[in-house]
Amino acid sequence: MSNSHDRAAARLTARGIVRRYGGIEAVGGVDLVAPPGRITALVGPNGAGKSTLFDCLAGTVRPDAGRVLLGGRDVTGLPAHRRVRLGLARTFQQIAVFPTLSVADNVRVGAEQRTGRAGPAGPAEARTVTGQTLAERTLTERTVTERTVGALRLFGLQGLAAEPAGAQPTGVLRLVELARALAGGPRVLLLDEPAAGLDAAQTARLVSVLRGLAERGMALLLVEHDAELVAELADTVYAMAGGRMVAAGPTATVLADPRVTRAWGAVG
């Protein structure tokens, strides 16, 4: 993402997001910006509304009010798979992999989701239902393979590529999920507790990868309970409590804010 258009597209904005469940307002009028080339953290105690806000941003939940913008485009009404096609990817707090597929095939799913790749090609003289010629499909297949291999290499998973995902420990599965998200070549990446289950070496690799992605112009937004990791990684922090933002700004300032330390017991 070297030009200004790509960097502009790598901006996620939430304006006045409201989400209610019955009579309970889980998220109440929240504003947030995840700019390109920066790592933004979202912190707060359990029940603060962070996951609900993430779901609204990713498209798995539609807000009752407010807008979500990807680049300058209003995507509030778009489902999650349409946002993926536009360059937004996410990981989940609860690891979500396909246990019967190999590690490589799990990662490959992410690359195929972004390209919108369809099923097997038909006769050479015909176009597929997606409007692609066989030559175009071959190019798509090459892109998918290259992205899959690149994502596996990024997280040091090459040696496990052919192994079934279901046989891997939690830390490896977390990296598989991260690799799958990155295989789609997103402009914006939402990470829900990405370091959960990682050992020290895996966490160090994660930190290096995320910093590298930000340096290349990606917008990263992460929910994280590890205050030390937030302090090490994030450029900007938003702090939620009771469904609302209680503080936002530079990392050191927010983590030292008494409103945040009172609400978020993880800050030490």
The answer to whether 26 and 19 are in contact (CB under 8 A) is: yes
pLDDT < 50 stretches in the chain:
1-2, 117-130, 267-268
201-239 in b/e form (b: 16+ CB < 10 A) is ebbebbbebbeebbeebbbbbbbbbbbebbeebbebbbb
Residue type, 241: A
Sign, CA dihedral 259-260-266-268, equals negative
Q: Categorise residue 12: left if φ over 0, alpha if ψ from -120 to 50, beta otherwise.
A: beta
User: Nearest Cα to 182, choosing from 203, 221, 154, 205?
Assistant: 154
Confidence (pLDDT) at 72: 85
Q: DSSP letter string over 58-71?
A: HTSS--SEEEEEET
Confidence (pLDDT) at 127: 36
Confidence (pLDDT) at 4: 52
User: Nearest Cα to 199, choosing from 169, 222, 241?
Assistant: 169
Confidence (pLDDT) at 131: 54
Q: Which residues are paired to 247 by β-bridges? A: 239
104-139 in b/e form (b: 16+ CB < 10 A) is bbbbbbbbbbbbebeeebeeeeeebeeebeeeebee
Separation CA 191–CA 45 (nearest Å): 17
Separation CA 133–CA 66 (nearest Å): 41
Q: Which domains does the chain have, with CATH numbers?
A: 1-87+186-268 (3.40.50.300), 98-185 (3.40.50.300)
User: Residue 17, SS3?
Assistant: strand
Confidence (pLDDT) at 268: 40
Considering the entire predicted model, what is its pTM? 0.85
